[in-house]
Every structure is written in structure tokens, then in C-alpha cells.
Copies of this chain bind each other. A is one copy, B any other.
């Protein structure tokens, strides 16, 4: 299988840990490896490194080369400008198609956390088989609560199954729901979270892009013509073709809105793999162990922090400075050399606005 990993996000909702200069996917959020490295590690045995493409922007090229020194330089796709995931994923499919016109590719995000790598690989192997039959396959996450911040996928009849996994026909992609709708989805049982993880034959996705997004398709065809001469690798010639064609893309469109909501032959495989997109500080807070007062204190030596009459707080330090919380609850405190955030957990969605204001582009 081939793989495409989207690594161009700027992770504004985890400011000031994630910044425009050092976004989330290049950070060691939870372990020894960065999220990008963990994403690549997770695909070991599914796609060889030579068949992995990273889609990103020029600003992050050095981070990627440093973090993935064995990745061929020609596998780093630098978009001239962000035009939505339809264009990003279409580009990866285009380069892969220039190497192998009927290849199956998976599409992943560099900044998602998945705890159960083995179950994830199992699901991908099953997805690969369904994709070979011509389906556009997405992995849907069994919802564990009524989240209102994700899109959902409604599924219908089963079309194929293997031990413990079933692929279903998709009935609808639905946008982020209000709370009561999310609760109805949860109890209905045939809705899963749309995690943006896909698997398909490159000819099938490019065919759907051609049908549904002709403007994007025209740009991709121009790149494809040059990529055929580079063996599907990024070269100065391919980059020049992208630079020429890119300005014709006027809109930012996601692959969900541009393709999946309207495409034919879509399948979803519901999975339980310990997925978390760590989309904001409230979600991040759930990933750390808590003490007796339900506080998580991360990154500060025991003798350098103190809490009194405080509960249900996350204190995340990247400076190691002494930190004290007194008489507070339900807060996220993030202390890094780039900035300081104090946010109510319940208002974590406001952090995007914070980051947009404090990091003018």
C-alpha cells in the first residue's frame, strides 16, 4: 500500500504549545517520538517508507527531513499554498498514480493519536482489500460520547467483513451536529466519527475528483503529466508545474465536502483503535493521569509545583518553572517559552481565536 500523510496543519487550538513555527505534528506531545514520527511508525508493515508521501508546506520541510531522515526527499510534497484537503490528497494520489496507476493508498493525518496501533493496522489491511474492489473506504471511529466537534458518518448495510471488522455502505456524511443530534446519533448505533482516514485506489479517487471537482482535476492532470517523467517523485520540474497550475485553484475545499459527500461506492469500516485527534486543550487534558485532586501537572518537577484548594486542572509546562495553582478549578494552564495560556476547559474552543490574534500571519 501507499500512504499519504497530511502534515501542513498549524494546530492553532493547542497554542502556545503548538505554534505556527512548531505545530503539533512536529512535537513530542505524549512520548519520545513526535506525532509525525508516531504516525509513520504506526504504518510500519502497512506501507514501506519509500511509498509514503508527506504533504506539507515549505516552512516545515526542514522539520520533516530532520524527523524522518530516511524518507526519500522526493516523497515530500510541498504545496504552494493551502487549498484544502481535496487538493492536498489529490496531489498525493496524482504522484502515486504516476508510479502505479492502480495503487491503493491510505490517507492519514500527522497529528492524530492512536493508542492501538495493531488494531489500526488490522483495519487498514481489511480496508485495502475493500479498496481494491473499487470502494472509497473510510475508517470511522466508534463514538464513545456525544461529541459535537466532529462530523459523523451514517452507515447502512454490510458489504464485507473479516474477523471483528465489517465494511458498510455509507448512507451519509453529516457535519458537526448540535448536542441533541449528537446524542441521537450515539444511541442510534449506526453513526461513527469521521476521522478523515481514507483508503482507496488512486484511479478511483482521481476519477471522482474529475467528476466532482473538475477545476482541481485540471490542475492535478497538469502535475500528473510532469510527474510521469519523475517516477512520481517530487522534483524541481514537478514543483515548477505545481507552481504554475496552483494559482488557478481559487477555493479551499475539504475532501469530505468536495468528494466524499457526493461520491459513488463509499464504504466505512467502524473501528475502535483508541483514536484521538487531540483537537484542543480540553481533549488533551483527558490524556494525562490525574492526582487525588483530579489535577494533572505535566512537565514540572515534583518539588517545583504546588496546588492548594484546586481541582480538575491541567497544568502543562514546557519551561519547568515553579508553578502554583490556588483556589482554582476547571482550568487549563499552558506555560511555554512562546506564551502563556489560562483557559477554562469548557471554553477550549476559544483558543483558536487566541492563536489567530497572537500569531498574525
Q: Is the CB of B327 within 8 A of A343?
A: yes
Question: What per-residue 1/0 map shows which CB atoms of A334-347 lie under 8 Å from chain B?
Answer: 01011111111011
Which chain B positions have C-beta within 8 A of A333? Answer: 340, 342
In the complex, whether A322 has a CB less than 8 A from a CB of chain B is yes
CA of A265 to CA of B227 in the docked complex: distance in angstroms? 100
A343 to B351 CA separation, bound complex (whole angstroms) = 21
Q: Note all chain B residues with C-beta closer than 8 A to A308.
A: 350, 353-354
In angstroms, Cα B358 to Cα A347, docked, is: 30
Chain A interfacial residues counted at CB < 8 A? 34
A228 within 8 A of B: no
Interface pair B344/A327, CB less than 8 Å apart: yes
A308-329: contact bitstring with B at CB < 8 Å (1 yes, 0 no)?
Answer: 1100000000000111111110
Question: Is B309 within 8 A of A325, CB to CB?
Answer: no
- A304 CB–B CB distance under 8 Å: yes
8 Å CB interface, A204-245 against B: none
Partner of A328, one of B309, B339, B342, B354: B342
Cβ-based interface call for A331 (8 A): yes
* Highest count of chain B CB atoms <10 Å: which of A16, A321, A327, A337: A327
What is the CA–CA distance of A323 and B335 in the complex, to the nearest angstrom?
9
Whether A358 touches B327, Cβ cut-off 8 Å, given contacts A309-B350, A335-B340, is: no
Residues of B within 8 A of A337 (CB): 321
- For the complex formed, measure the closest distance between the CB of A360 and the CB atoms of chain B, giving whole angstroms: 8
Interface status of A306 (Cβ within 8 A of chain B):
yes
Query: In the complex, what residue of chain B is closest to A332 when comparing beta carbons?
Result: B326
- Cβ-neighbour of A321 out of B327, B339, B353, B354 (below 8 A): B339
Binding site for B on A (CB under 8 A): 15-16, 304-306, 308-309, 321-328, 331, 333, 335, 337-344, 346-347, 350-351, 353-354, 357-358
